Structure 1
Amino acid sequence: MTTTLGTASAAPGEVDTGRLEVGETRDGDPFGLPVAVINGSSSGKTLYLQAVSDGDELNGLGVIQRVVPQLDPATITGTILIVGIVNYHAYQVAEHRNPIDDTKMNRAYPGNESGTSSERIAAATFDVATRADLVLDLHQGSTSRMLNEVRVRCGKRHRLYEECLELAKAFGCGYVLDQKGPDGQLARAAPDEGIPTVDPELGGCVGWDDESIQKGVSGVFNVLRYYDFLEEANDLERQTRANSFEQYGSPNGGLVEMHKELGERVAHGEPIFEITTAFGETKTTVTADSDGILWRTRRLPQVATGEYVCSVGTDIDSY
């Protein structure tokens, strides 16, 4: 059966790209999101992929750019639907939030087809997501430095919790944050419609990062193999899981000197970072409140009082 997404239309065994029209720009011209349909030669599940719902998070787009040319529909069972750039307006100006309505797109789901710019885009992409059996919403830690992880956002009491946890494990980048997310996230809204959904957070950088992109490419193919889109088997590997975060701000202004690297274990009471003057004099040393793993840090060393420095993943286990 032919599958259509916006202007893209692919019969079984075909690939097509096109645009999903979602509104007009300020000069009255229509605009559309770039989309792709990979229609396998045999019927099966549907996977939905999207990227750049935050306009400066480009690693997910890098994943899609590398994954699509490797997909041969003759070897695929099922269908893959892709929206390559969700936050059209923010992407154009390399900003995080949609500048038309100053909205973070991943707080607008399930959207409103008669609402603001972000709500209309969310509604259009949510409609695509609800056609799928599985959803990967590709993100990164904005411009912070961060571990490659997958976020399970539906909450432990959700009826699809185990399915979302399994999808995160199938993606298999090594780290999972298992913490209920804010309202308006796609990974919160789609499970309510019965669709397992996770957020791979592929590192953090300015521009994009080859290592994190390759982690994402491997993760997408892991999912395709595990859920039988591809014939090759994919065994699940144990993931390191954090069940919560502790965030640390700076008690002083100055320069941050980290005592730990990303992914290193942190013990309660152990120094995480210190703040120094421009002349290297120590102003204060900040220690860990709990045992955990250094998960995320700011990129630039200069901080003002109270400014974000780092996050430690806590309540660590593996599954």
Structure 2
Amino acid sequence: MTTTLGTASADPGEIDTGRLEVGETRDGSPFGLPVAVINGERPGKTLYMQAASDGDELNGVGVIQRVVPKLDPSELAGTILITGIVNYHAFQIAEHRNPIDDTKMNRAYPGNETGTSSERIAAATYEAATRADLILDLHQGSTSRMIDEVRVRCGKRHRLHKDCLELAKVFGCGHILDQKGPDGQLARAAPDEGVPTVDPELGGAVGWDEASIQKGVDGVFNVLTHYGFLDGSVDIEEQTRARGFEQYGAPSGGLVSFRKELGDRVRGGETLFEVTTPFGEPKAEVTADSTGILWRTRRLPQVATGEYVCSVATDIDDY
């Protein structure tokens, strides 16, 4: 059976790429998102993947760039649908939000086909995504420094919570954030349509980071193998799961020096960071309120009073 996504069309055993038209630019020219269809020779499930929902989060694009050339449809059961770059306008200028409507794309789902620029893009990609049996929405921690993790955003009371957790564990970054997400996230909205969805957050970088990209590539192939797209089996390892965050800001302006590394376990009362003057004179010391894991930090050392510095994941267990 022929499968299409935008102008990409593939019969069983074929790969095709094309564009999913979603509007016009300011000069009236039509534009489309880059899409691909990989139609396996044998019938099976459908996987949907997308990247660059936030225009400066490029590690997911790197994952897709490396995964697609490794896929042979003659060895594949089922179909893979891919949107390589979702936030078209933000990607062009390497910004996080869509500059046409100043919107964070991953707050616009399920979208509106007659709405704003972001809502129209969200509606088009949501229609494609919800044709699938599984969804991987590839992200990263923007330009902050962050560990590799997978986010389950449907909430623990959702009927697909267990299925989303399984998908996160199979992807296998080693860390899972199991916390209900904000309205408008794809990983929050698509489970309501019956599709298990996770949000792999592949580190954080300016540009892209090869180590995090490789974790994403490995994760995609884990999913393809575990769910029967490819032959073989996956050893599913125990993950560290967090269910919440505590965020820390700077009590004074100056330069931040961290006393813990990303991924380190911290205990309540342990020093997370210090703030000094440009001459190294101490101004403030910030300690952890609770036991957890240093999950995310700002990239630049200079801070103003009250500015974000880091996040500690809390309510930790092994899953």
TM-score range relative to shorter protein:
over 0.9
Give 1:79 deviation, angstroms.
Answer: 0.2
Distance in 1 separating the partners of 2:283 and 2:151:
35
One-letter amino acid matched to 2:92: Q
Distance in 2 separating the partners of 1:295 and 1:213:
18
One-letter amino acid matched to 1:84: G
Aligned to 2:269: 269
Aligned to 1:194: 194
Give yes or no for contact 1:226–1:235 (8 Å, CA) kept in 2. no
Aligned to 1:318: 318
Residue deviations 1:24-60, cap 9 Å, x none? Answer: 0000010000000000000000000000000000000
One-letter amino acid matched to 2:101: D
Question: In structure 1, the residue corresponding to 2:201 is in which secondary structure?
Answer: strand
One-letter amino acid matched to 2:265: R
Distance in 1 separating the partners of 2:9 and 2:157:
38
Distance in 2 separating the partners of 1:252 and 1:316:
30
Aligned to 1:121: 121
Distance in 2 separating the partners of 1:263 and 1:110:
33
Give yes or no for contact 1:45–1:132 (8 Å, CA) kept in 2. yes
Q: Which structure 2 residues correspond to residues 137-152 of structure 1 after superposition, within 5 A?
A: 137-152=137-152
Give 1:121 deviation, angstroms.
Answer: 0.1
One-letter amino acid matched to 1:110: P
One-letter amino acid matched to 2:121: I
Aligned to 1:46: 46
- Tell me if 1:111 matches 2:124: no
Give 1:237 deviation, angstroms.
Answer: 1.0
Aligned to 1:237: 237
Give 1:235 deviation, angstroms.
Answer: 2.4
Question: In structure 2, the residue corresponding to 1:82 is in which secondary structure?
Answer: strand
Q: TM-score, normalised by structure 2?
A: 1.00
Aligned to 1:170: 170
Distance in 2 separating the partners of 1:78 and 1:71:
12
Give 4+ residue runs of structure 1 displaced > 4 Å after superposition: none
Give 1:232 deviation, angstroms.
Answer: 1.1
Question: In structure 1, the residue corresponding to 2:155 is in which secondary structure?
Answer: coil
Aligned to 1:251: 251
Question: In structure 2, the residue corresponding to 1:65 is in which secondary structure?
Answer: helix
One-letter amino acid matched to 1:173: C
- Tell me if 1:182 matches 2:158: no
One-letter amino acid matched to 1:156: K
Q: TM-score, normalised by structure 1?
A: 1.00
Aligned to 2:207: 207
Distance in 2 separating the partners of 1:260 and 1:247:
15
Distance in 1 separating the partners of 2:211 and 2:127:
32
Give 1:13 deviation, angstroms.
Answer: 0.4
Question: In structure 2, the residue corresponding to 1:35 is in which secondary structure?
Answer: strand
User: How many pairs are equivalent?
Assistant: 319
Give 1:236 deviation, angstroms.
Answer: 1.4
Distance in 2 separating the partners of 1:50 and 1:225:
19
Aligned to 2:98: 98
One-letter amino acid matched to 2:57: E
Give yes or no for contact 1:147–1:202 (8 Å, CA) kept in 2. yes
- Tell me if 1:222 matches 2:261: no
Residue deviations 1:221-275, cap 9 Å, x none? Answer: 0000110100011121110011101000000000000000001110000000000
Aligned to 1:77: 77
One-letter amino acid matched to 2:171: F
Question: In structure 1, the residue corresponding to 2:49 is in which secondary structure?
Answer: strand
Specify every segment of 5 or more residues in structure 2 that has no aligned partner in the other structure, as ranges.
none
Give yes or no for contact 1:48–1:132 (8 Å, CA) kept in 2. yes
One-letter amino acid matched to 2:67: V
One-letter amino acid matched to 2:46: T
Residue deviations 1:140-165, cap 9 Å, x none? Answer: 00000000000000000001000000
Give yes or no for contact 1:40–1:76 (8 Å, CA) kept in 2. yes
Distance in 1 separating the partners of 2:115 and 2:235:
43
Question: In structure 1, the residue corresponding to 2:243 is in which secondary structure?
Answer: strand
One-letter amino acid matched to 2:170: A
Give yes or no for contact 1:8–1:36 (8 Å, CA) kept in 2. yes
